[in-house]
Chains A and B, each alone.
Chain A
């Protein structure tokens, strides 16, 4: 049940109706049931896995909270080992065994997100930064909450339970913002991402013979725009739905393509993952205190591998790790001279996307070569794609300038009307293009 389908909106309408009509005490049961239904609609068999991870980490949290010394560490290690084993088996088995075993492993949807979310809870309890959750229903809802179950954002327990425990009816402002974000996310996905997906797919699925520099750059640009609109659109919808249900999730994207450096880019792109990697990997490895470059590289390599079990993602992570290290060596981490460095950063990010999108390392290299040398070729964009790009760019610049200031009601109404209209004209409905991050 994808967010951009009629079936999902029918489901959401039922969930919202139940949520607003039921007494407050029943709402979490209602949301948990809805979340399991949502997950089961994809593959009912994997509900046991979600339930297993929930039970394991709920118990681990209680164990750690009640233990001292080695007992705490034991609980942490058992939980992390079990979580990572689950992830390793479903996601990395073939990669780790170099495809030597012919077993058919179906990747449970969103496994990387909810495993990371659950692990962060256990670590937070171990660090005494989070109280252990006493009610299994609460923990189950934390892990299974449908708006962010399959593609994030990766929500910290502190954030989630801060809304769940003193649960209040969503305010009128939350409802308005929630509806706005739902519409914004849907527009980003269906009108922007899916149109750019058609362009990038046409190139990357099979590089056309005779393709040149312009083909490669525009196809890469198309993918850069696709993945941004796709993932940030999904996130906007998730945050919007959460608002409608009384939860306040932190922002996950802050105009990443306006970043003035790669360091700045990672403060703006998939913020919930980059802060997770910072807090649970980079800093424990030593952070900026010692072996900084090794830590950066390891974090980014593992961050790349988190996205998928392939060398493409490892190279993509390594590429970003190297750029981050280089910026640190040259003292270019802070985004000064943005007017000059933003286009350069954007170009560097686009080059990295080649590895992310290309189906294999060989085709990534072939694309990289085409980006640099070869015949001129022709643009894969049609004029109206540039128009869409222009609209998105202006919107991003305006948003950057305002930086999420609360909009007046008239502006909300105007933007809602325009978004519905853009959706009507440009939404891709002839093919169903899944969200990119669903595969992770």
Chain B
């Protein structure tokens, strides 16, 4: 062997060793399964995956899975109890995690359902069948990089980073897909700061999560008393309203109208398209359902929406667009975004009825 070949081989062996170390610790799931901060976004996602795998193992009935972010806060436990009372022959699990979006859902589903045959149906909640561009560009949603790092495979390297819009995030995503340790660096350094506390938290939260999160019931507080004069954009708050609540009302309900570029529609069409392709020919049904949009509803004529990716999505069943409007009242919400206990409980029941009716399960 020539000396140049030997040099190239040595450098390649060094790089190979590094890739092997990274793979053994981070790509294998060893780190994510044992050490990841359970109270972090990525940690909660891992715990959710674990819980739903237990459900797959322990529940004999046909399974339906819901996805969603923190707004999809119905109680699976109450919903399943309701379904049992109604005699529905399926149970529902929840693979949604706070802060996730269609891009995350694709990778979560791939992880939870590697054969694409474990669920009878998957439910995707959206608050609008039309696409409204906001000042948030979901293509560059930074938290996705942390959520998804443990779930990515080698084969994702060419495509996943390109789903981000700006070079900075593309670069970070590329780094996270290629070198998982780099994406989990902050978590690992926090572990090294106080390993005993971390291991204790992993144990405690890990023990609690499967049942605790399944049994969890939302806050009873309601925002009754909240109203908005849309002409003057003045809000009347409930007596207990603090600055944080008022701020949320301003940024969520009274948010400005962003230019409608169609970016959000293309984003949703792309990722829901990936999900449809993943389940193509599998027998798993895909259902869009509406989420109650909020305690008060922004006037429909504020935004002239330019696309409707959900309505146009092929391979999905479309839920009733107006079914949940009765829940769009202050007494069913605990803040500007999330349903309270009463709202979540009612939503769960209505959702089970709709799943039953739409999917004929």
The interface of chain A, by Cβ under 8 A from chain B, is 6, 171-173, 175-176, 179, 183, 382-384, 387, 409, 412-418, 420-421, 424-427, 429
Contacts and interface: CB of A to CB of B under 8 A. Distances in A.
A21 to B, nearest CB: 15
B7 A420 contact: no
Given A172-B3, A416-B11, 17 more contacts: A172-B6, A173-B7, A175-B4, A383-B192, A413-B10, A413-B11, A413-B14, A416-B13, A417-B14, A421-B18, A421-B21, A421-B22, A424-B18, A424-B22, A424-B179, A424-B182, A425-B189
A173 B11 CA distance: 12
Contact of B7 (A172, A421, A429): A172
Interface string B210-240: 0000000000000000000000000000000
A425 B17 contact: no
Contacts of A173: 3, 7
Contacts of B182: 424, 427, 429
Interface in B177-233: 179, 181-182, 185, 188-189, 192-193
Given A384-B189, A384-B192, A416-B17, A421 B10 contact: no
B10 A420 contact: no
B16 interface: yes
B15 interface: yes
A420 B15 CA distance: 7
Contacts of A412: 10, 14
Interface in B4-45: 4, 6-7, 9-11, 13-18, 20-22
Contacts of B192: 382-384, 387
B171 interface: yes
A176 B171 CA distance: 28
A289 B22 CA distance: 59
| Chain A binding surface SS class | helix
A173 B181 CA distance: 31
B185 A414 contact: no
Contacts of A6: 171
Contact of A416 (B3, B18, B185): B18
B193 to A, nearest CB: 5
A416 B20 CA distance: 13
14 contacts: A172-B3, A173-B3, A382-B193, A412-B14, A413-B14, A415-B14, A416-B14, A417-B14, A417-B18, A417-B21, A418-B18, A420-B18, A421-B22, A425-B188
Interface residues of B, number: 26
A413 B6 contact: no
Contact of B15 (A172, A414, A416, A425): A416
Nearest to A175: B7
Interface of B: 2-4, 6-7, 9-11, 13-18, 20-22, 171, 179, 181-182, 185, 188-189, 192-193
Given A176-B10, A179-B11, A425 B181 contact: yes
| Chain B binding surface SS class | helix
A382 B192 CA distance: 8
A176 B11 contact: yes
B354 to A, nearest CB: 45
A264 B215 CA distance: 68
A427 B22 CA distance: 15
Nearest to A407: B10
Nearest to A430: B186
A7 B66 CA distance: 43
Given A175-B7, A409-B10, A417 B193 contact: no
Contacts of B17: 413-414, 416-418, 421
A417 B20 CA distance: 9
Given A383-B193, A384-B193, A414 B181 contact: no
A440 B2 CA distance: 43
A422 to B, nearest CB: 9
Contacts of B18: 416-418, 420-421, 424
A426 B189 CA distance: 8
A413 B3 contact: no
A417 B3 contact: no
A421 B2 CA distance: 28
Contacts of A176: 7, 10-11
Contacts of B179: 424
A325 to B, nearest CB: 44
A412 B16 CA distance: 13
Contacts of B10: 176, 409, 412-413, 416
Interface hub of B7, B16, B20 (most chain A Cβ within 10 A): B7
A175 B3 CA distance: 10
A243 to B, nearest CB: 12
Contacts of A414: 14, 17
Contacts of B9: 409
Contact of B14 (A171, A420, A425, A429): A420
Interface hub of B4, B18, B193 (most chain A Cβ within 10 A): B18
Contacts of A421: 17-18, 21-22, 181
A176 B21 CA distance: 22
Contacts of B20: 417
A172 B22 contact: no
A420 to B, nearest CB: 4
Contacts of A382: 192-193
User: Which 5 residue pairs of A and B lie closest in terms of their CB atoms, listed nearest first?
Assistant: A416-B14, A417-B17, A420-B18, A172-B3, A384-B192
